[in-house]
Structures are given as C-alpha cells and as structure tokens.
Chains A and B, each alone.
Chain A
Amino acid sequence: MKKSYLFLAIALIATLVLGACAQPGTPQEPADEGIVINLWTKEGETDGGLQYVQALADAYTAQNPNVTFVVVNKDVETLREDFQTASLADAPPELLWTVSDHLGPFTAADLIQPVDSLVDLGAYVPSAVDAVKDPSGATWGVPISNGNHLMYLYNKDLQPVPPANTDELIAMGADLIDAGITPLVVNQTEPFFFVPWLGGFETEVFAADGVTPTLDTPEMVAALQFVHDIKFNDGLMPLESDGDVADTMFKEGQAAAIINGDWSLGTYKELFGDSLGVAPIPEVVGGTWPAPYTSGVFFMIPKDLSGPTLDAVVDFMVFATNLENQVEMVEKLTRLPALAAALDDPIITADPILAGSAEQMTYGTPMPTVLEMRCVWDALKPEMQAVFNDTKSATDAAAAAQAAAVACIANQ
C-alpha cells in the first residue's frame, strides 16, 4: 500500500513541475518571432486620446506585422507609481507615453534612458525638447505634443471681447456680476492653476539654479494677494470650485470665462462651436503677461531596454511623430504639435482656437521637471487653498510654503 501512495505522490509532483515549466513565460508573449511593446499611456478615453494612441499602434503594426502593441491606459499618478514599482521588479513596460514632469522622479531613481543618440531632436520644436532636458543637457524624452498650458477661454455670447489686462478683467467682471453671471471660474484646488500669475508678477518658483525654492518673495505675496482680492473684494470667482464645478459652470453658461488647459479645447469646441474664444490670460497691470507652465506629452524609454526591441521602439517613436501623424493629431486632439514642420501647416494657422492657443504659448514658460518640483507643488497646495479660503494671509502663506518646500526637499 505504501509504495503505491509514494508512486502517486511522485507522479503528481512530476506532472505539476513539468506543467509549470512548460507554461510560456507571461501569457502576453507570443512565440519566438515578433516583438511585443507594452505601451503605457496617460491618455484617457474621455478626450479621444486613448483611441488615438491605439490607432497609431494599429497603423504601425499594419506596416510592421512582427511588432505588436499592448496599449494600457493609466492615469498620470498611477502610471508613475506603477512604473516605479514595475522597474523595481525588473519588469518595466517597453515604452511610456506620459507627461514631462515624470522625468524628475524617473531620473532620480535612474529608471529611464536619454534619447539624444536615438532620434534626431533637431526636428522638434525647441521649447518642447527643452522641457525634458536636465541641467547636464541630456534629453530624456521624445516630444509628441506641446502645450498642456492654461489659457483664458471665454464664451463669446456672454463676453464678446476678452479683457486685455487685469484692470479690464475687474471692470468687465463688475458688469457681468450685475447681469447675474459669474465672471471667472477656475480650479481653486490645484496650484497648477495658480502659477501662471507668478509669471505675471515676475517671479518664479525656483532660483536660477533650478532647484532652490523661492516661494517667499514679495512678488509671490503680491500674486497670492491678487487672486485673494479678485475673489473676495471684486467677487469675480465663486466661493468653492474645483475642476468639475468650474467646468460645469462654464458649460452651463453660468460663467463667462474659465481658465483651463488645452486638453479641454476639444470638448468646449464641440459644445460652443464658434462661440468659444481663446485668449492669453490677461496681462497683470504693473507686471507682465502671466506665464502658464508649458510642458507636453513625451515618449520615455526604460533604462535597460536594448537590442531589437529598442530598435522597434525608436522606429515607432519616429513614425508616431512624423509630419502626417502630427497633423492628424492636431486635427483629432486639438493639441499643438511637437514637430517643428507641423507648426506651419494651415490647419493650425487658419484655426482661431489653435492660433489663440499658440499665442498663449508664446508667453508660457517651461514647467520645471526636477524632482524638487514635487515638493514645491505639495508645499504650495495647502497654502494657496488657505489664501483662497481666507484663512491665511498672503504673507503667512508664502512663508509657510517656503518652509514646507525646504523641509520636503531635505527629506527626499
């Protein structure tokens, strides 16, 4: 009896071990030939971005049948977290389609490789390439689209002419309030929507070295005071509004203007048609034009990628950013292209919305992508919100933000 049990046990063990070994690696890999590229993209379905990426991938596979793609959408924060974790387990995806400020954490943790030797960066718009350069001059991403910047979007039916400067903003606002319309809505919870004013008051978050925070300057205090005053003294903005509220109020015609980014252009264009106006954020009287952060969307490559897979990836990147595809992207996603040649295409020069977007970009400034920027965002957020809620003075808020940023950077 004992022997047959033993035999049974050995047989079972053997089968299971053989079965486990015989399984193909991960179920995603096909047989030997053929390259699979896992492409993680931050593009979602809402604005058609994910569909666009998938279409690009399919078009490439049609021309190169031995290269297939697995396109996965992850939202920006998730993409960053998961890429870090996957790299830790030595299994990162082959290609990333993501935002420029990911370069900070990814280069600090040494997870991606520079692209200077892989593609011809001269073909792209310089501001786009600069957005992903580090202080040593290495470029860490291949640009796909340029912009991601905030603009002054207004409803021509409610406000036929946009204000050119902040005095006009307040004056026009008074008339709109009398007519029962909210003059301006904006996402009051994210500091991203506040920083353009810093440029208007002629200050920046970092000193010249690009890593030391300068959040406690008189100009910063002036900027915080300005947004506080137009909200509470002039009543231009509602008491509480996040991105959704601002968006809804603008869409429903309760707000005359919204400060929002180029990602919203597609939806607004569809809704308002010719009534949508695009203008630069009004110039600060006594200062200059507000400077929204420009960044863009970029390809990034994991550090240890090499061999035929790397070649396929590079080839795809060049394909995705060729003239034909860039023009199509402008058409489909209403974003400014990264390829210099595409900027001259009539599709941009003839469209007032895109022209307005391009005009705002000329006043923009590249968003810092260093790791320390994270600390700046985290430090600014509660302080800016405190000013918006009238719970802290502008002076105190600026000082607190500086202290928090310095402490955070020390801990990184």
Chain B
Amino acid sequence: MITPQTMLVSLKEVGSTVLYLLAAAALIEVILYLVLVKWLKYKYAFAFMLMAPAIVGLFFLIIYPLLWELRLSFTNMSLRAFRDPDFIGLTNYIKVFTEPVLKQKYFFPLLGQTVVWTVINIFFHVTGGLALAMLLNRNMKGRGIYRTILILPWAIPQVIAVLAWRGEFNYTYGYFNVLLQAIGLQPIQWMTNPTANFAAMCITNIWLGIPFMMVTLLGGLQSINSEYYEAAEMDGASGWQKFKSITYPLLQPVLTPAVLLGTFWTFNNFNVPFFINQNELESSDILVTGLFRAAFQYNRYGFAAAFAFVIFALLLIFTIFYMRYTKTLKGDAQS
C-alpha cells in the first residue's frame, strides 16, 4: 500500500533535488555571465550560457566515465588483479582481435553476427514501418485507433516485452509451437537451436522496432505536398513510379536520420539478444552482449574496456562513411 508519509518522502527527495540542480545551474550561469558577458564580452556568450548546464552534466555523466574506461583499457584489471592492476599498454586491444572474446567466439565472427542482426532488423523495420505508414497515410475511418494500437509495442517497457516474447518461444507452452502442432507441423526448438534462436531474436526486435519507423515515416509522408501526387496522377504515373520519383526522394531527410538512429539502437541493443538467448548460445550473442559478459560474467574488466572502445570506434567509422554516402546522394538529387 502507499501512505501519505511515503509519498511525502519521495516528493521531498525529488523536490530538493530539483531545487539543488536549479541552484547549481543558476550558479554556473552567473559565473559564465560575469566571465563571458561582462568581462570578455564574448560574441557567443549567450550560446555558451544556454549550453553550459548540459555540458557540465554531460562531462560528469559521459566524458569522465569514458576517460576512466580508457585508462582501464590499458590495464590488466580482472579479479586476480583487482585493487592494483598493472599497466599493460595496448595488450588488451591486441587481445580483442586475437583471442576469443566470449568463451569460444572470436571477434570477427561476433562482428559478423552483429552485422547480420542489424541488417535484418533494419530492413524489416524500414519496410514494415514504411508499408504501415503508407497504409495509414490517408483519410480513413479508425485511423486513430489503428495508430494507437500499432504504437503499443513501442510504449511497453522493453524488458517486459522481451520476457513476454521469450515465453512465446517456449518449446512446450509457447504460442508458436502450440500453433505449429495444431496444424500438424513439428515444433521448433527456439532456445536450443542456434538458427531458431537467432530468428526468435529477430522476430522480437522487429516487433519492437516497427512502431518507431512507422511513426517517423508517417510524419515524413505527410510533409510531402500532395500536389506532387496529383500532378503525377494527371501525367498517368503508376503507383510504383510515384513511389520511386516522389515518395522515396522526398522521404530522405527523414529516412536518413531514422535509419542511422535505428542502426545504432539495433547494433547496441542489449535487452533482446541477452534475454531471448536464455541458454547463452554464443551464436546468438552480439558485440554488446559479449561486452557485458566479458565485464560482468567473466570479470575481465581491462579487456572489456578495450572491447568497448573497439565497438565504439566501429560505429563511429560507420557513421562517417554513411553520412558521406548519403550527403553525396542528396547533392546528386538536388542538382
């Protein structure tokens, strides 16, 4: 049950926290104001004052831990070398590529699995989301209801959804196998068969990821001026031609960031592969679950830190290439 006292405790805690943070922010602003405006008369003073609290926060929450992890990646910290680890330079980074990062899996096969995972998911997210968005992009009855129901997978806390799906893949009691047996087919061993398990992971994540794409793309579709379509119809263009020449190019400003974000989120998705892979099959691991295991299950702290930076660098390189590639496309389309 809940009592007014407990409610008050939380309220006070949160309230005092907010006040404390606002005071700290005000302090930062005052200092900056004095320094940048009154003393230096800096041109961009106001911009920096706007960003200051965010920068301070990000420093503590992201930059400091990153630096700490960087230092850790150069040591051999593990359970045996816990309090006073030794400095071993780049050894961990070399080990990431030359030794198994899981119990038996090496880095590059694991990377391969991650890439396959990401590509399959993004493909279905985009096609599914686009298909649903195009279906919904019209004045029809019940549009609001459809949209609401189709958004639900996004609204549910991910861990709960994943656990629910894991139940559905249960050999004896899960929905899929019960259906398969009802129509006379063999049930699938979702948890022990590597291919089936990977498929299970993909199915779950596709279910989770389509709503975001659908909503994003729907908005993108709606920002396309319908005059284009009317002009194309008058010219006698087919559905496919309309899609290719109008919808797809004009969707790019929305599609590109959505795909980019989706790629990061899928690549780094922890919940789905970790929880669906109940039997800890190494064929179902991706890079970030491998990282988690290295750090927390096998306690190879130094190694895990190096591993993390390698993953981060991979994504960074991918992003740079992807942005160059799509910018080139945009330039061509506009010329």
Contacts and interface: CB of A to CB of B under 8 A. Distances in A.
Contacts, number: 97
A132 interface: no
Interface residues of A, number: 41
Nearest to A108: B79
Interface stretch (A7-15, A48-56, A115-123): A7-15
B100 A388 contact: no
A187 B152 CA distance: 34
A412 B80 contact: yes
Contacts of A87: 82
Interface string B30-72: 1101100010000000000000000000000000000000000
B103 interface: yes
B189 A240 contact: yes
A398 interface: no
Task: Identify whether the interface residues of B are mostly helix, strand, loop, or mixed.
Answer: loop
Contacts of B297: 77, 378
Interface string B89-131: 0000000000110011000000000000000000000000000
Interface residues of B, number: 37
Contacts of B33: 5
A239 B171 contact: yes
A400 B114 CA distance: 25
A248 B173 CA distance: 10
A245 B171 contact: yes
**Chain A binding surface SS class:** helix
Contacts of A411: 99, 298, 300
Contacts of B241: none
Contact of A385 (B104, B279, B299): B279
A412 B302 CA distance: 12
Given A6-B34, A12-B23, A389-B189, 19 more contacts: A12-B30, A16-B27, A77-B296, A84-B79, A88-B83, A105-B299, A110-B82, A240-B171, A241-B172, A245-B170, A382-B103, A382-B282, A385-B281, A389-B193, A404-B104, A407-B100, A408-B298, A411-B298, A412-B79
Interface of B: 23-24, 26-27, 30-31, 33-34, 38, 78-80, 82-83, 99-100, 103-104, 170-173, 187, 189, 191-193, 278-282, 296-300
24 contacts: A2-B38, A5-B33, A5-B34, A5-B38, A9-B31, A12-B27, A16-B23, A77-B296, A81-B296, A84-B79, A84-B82, A88-B82, A189-B191, A189-B279, A241-B171, A242-B278, A245-B171, A379-B103, A382-B281, A408-B103, A411-B298, A411-B300, A412-B78, A412-B79
